[in-house]
Amino acid sequence: MELANINRVYFIGIGGIGMSALARYFAKRGIVVCGYDKTRTNLTIALEHEGILISYLDEESVVPVCFAENHPDTLVVYTPAIPKNSNILHHFKSNGFSLKKRSEVLGIISQGMFCVAVAGTHGKTTTSSMIAHILTDTGFGCTAFLGGITSNYNSNVLFGKNNVVVVEADEYDRSFLTLHPDVAVVTSMDADHLDIYGDESHLHESFYLFADQLKADGKLFVKEGLPLHGITYSSNSNAALNASNIHVENGNFVFDFKDGFTTIKDLSLAMPGKHNVENAVAAIGVALSLGIHPQSIKKAVASFKGVKRRFETLVNTPTHIYIDDYAHHPEELRACFDAVRQLHPDKKLTVIFQPHLFTRTRDFADDFAKVLSTADEVILLEIYPARELPIEGINSQFLLDKMTITNKEICGKDSVLEHIKNKKPELLLTVGAGDIDILVEPLKNALKDA
């Protein structure tokens, strides 16, 4: 399907972070965009304010008239998270519409463009957002499809003046295999999505296939230690691209960048943690490969405000600090906790964690328990099921029992706010990828005024 021939697009699952970016892209092009999602959220409300018609009822009757019958200029995009028995999905399938996954549409859009793709089981949203910001802030320009809301632009899609596109390449369901990048970054290959891959070896196989799809003269940047051949990057001097003299100044991480040819001293990054320094090293490497001047890159890195729900400091008063993060894998939690401890080593850390998926909780229960037990106090919410049905015996109590700390408990979403108001923790961290985000604003208000 040619982009130029598309006049109408319907999104099934439009509220997803990746789906909403595509919806905004097509709407910006003047194309009729409508969609369905199960739940009304801040993101879908924002889309509505941008002129996109969204329904929240999974019934054929709510599909707009212009999508009632199949036309060759109509595209229907769906997410694998939509249940197979969805009435709206059935409507489009039974009427012979062209249905594409989000990843396929990204592949179509990026064809004929200079594509920078960032893959990894974690780190890809921050790294791709950093790259997009550097390219935009320096005037180089790019279109970007991101897996989070960037704080600099308050959006998950950027529109550029040139033929460069930055995309977050999602390994879930092997989605990233629709892309053929000119420049690729692989941030991590930790075991995840085992409900799809079965084991770590099959996950790794998909990353090898992704790397093989790099164009013949393309560049591959790889986090040091990963089993891929490419230009290595890290926060230590063993990698081709590296950071040194890492230290904290006024809450920012300051470091020097070296790649054997270029040195950039005293870079300042507002996103804390060694893992974010490494993400920045990769982003700087990509920008240098595109010919952007080092001092322009330094200025752009300093002005990067981060991504919503990626180590976002929401309250910072003399009595209370509240940080929110999207971490939902043991390695992500570990990196997040390390960053918190580096910034606030003397404060008691209270964590509210919402496990995401029954299978992930089951597969990584011991690792989750080990990391969570390094906090001073943990409050577990019940598991967010997302696309999954319950698994017998796999619940938050199962995880709680494996944790070795004394101060641990399970709390419902409806009562956790009152709980925190009573406790008034000095350092609060909320983590998880489910609907824990609905608690963020109430918790922020409660602690800001405490």
Domain boundary among 303, 331, 361: 303
Same domain, 166 and 243: yes
289 shares its domain with 357: no
| Alpha-carbon span 126 to 123, nearest angstrom | 6
Q: Does 205 reside within a domain?
A: yes
Are residues 18 and 170 in contact, defined by beta-carbon separation less than 8 angstroms?
yes
pLDDT of residue 195: 55
Q: Kindly write down the DSSP assignment for every residue of 336-375, as one continuous string.
A: HHHHHHHH-TTSPEEEEEE-B-HHHHHHTHHHHHHHHTTS
The total of structural domains in the chain comes to 3
What are 380-405's pLDDT values in tens digits?
999 998 878 899 999 999 999 999 99
* One domain, residues 249 and 390: no
The pair of structure tokens assigned to 86 is 């969805």
- pLDDT the model gives residue 142: 97
My answer on whether 65 and 161 are in the same domain is: no
Of 71, 100, 129, the domain-final residue: 100
Report how far residue 315's alpha carbon sits from residue 325's, in angstroms, rounded to the nearest whole number: 13
Half-sphere exposure of 211 (CA within 13 A, CB side): 21
Per-residue model confidence (pLDDT) at position 387: 73
Helix or strand (DSSP H, E) at 444: helix 440-448
In CATH, what number is assigned to the domain containing residue 432?
Answer: 3.90.190.20
What backbone torsions phi and psi does residue 175 show, to the nearest 5 degrees?
Answer: -60, -35
Residue 107 lies in a domain: no
Radius of gyration over every alpha carbon of the chain, rounded to an integer in angstroms: 22
Residues 95 and 141 in one domain: no
340 and 273 housed in the same domain? no
Q: Which domain holds residue 367?
A: 312-448
Residues 151 and 257 in one domain: yes
**Residue 450 confidence (pLDDT):** 66
- The residues near 178 (Cβ < 8 Å, ≥ 6 apart) are 101, 103, 104, 106, 107
Q: What pLDDT was estimated at residue 192?
A: 57
The answer on 413 and 393 residing in a single domain is yes
Please identify every stretch of the chain with a pLDDT value under 50, giving residue numbers as ranges: 194
Within-domain flag for 52: yes
- 428 in the same domain as 281: no
Give yes or no: residues 287 and 163 share one domain: yes
The answer to whether residue 105 sits within a structural domain is: no
Q: Do residues 8 and 55 share a domain?
A: yes
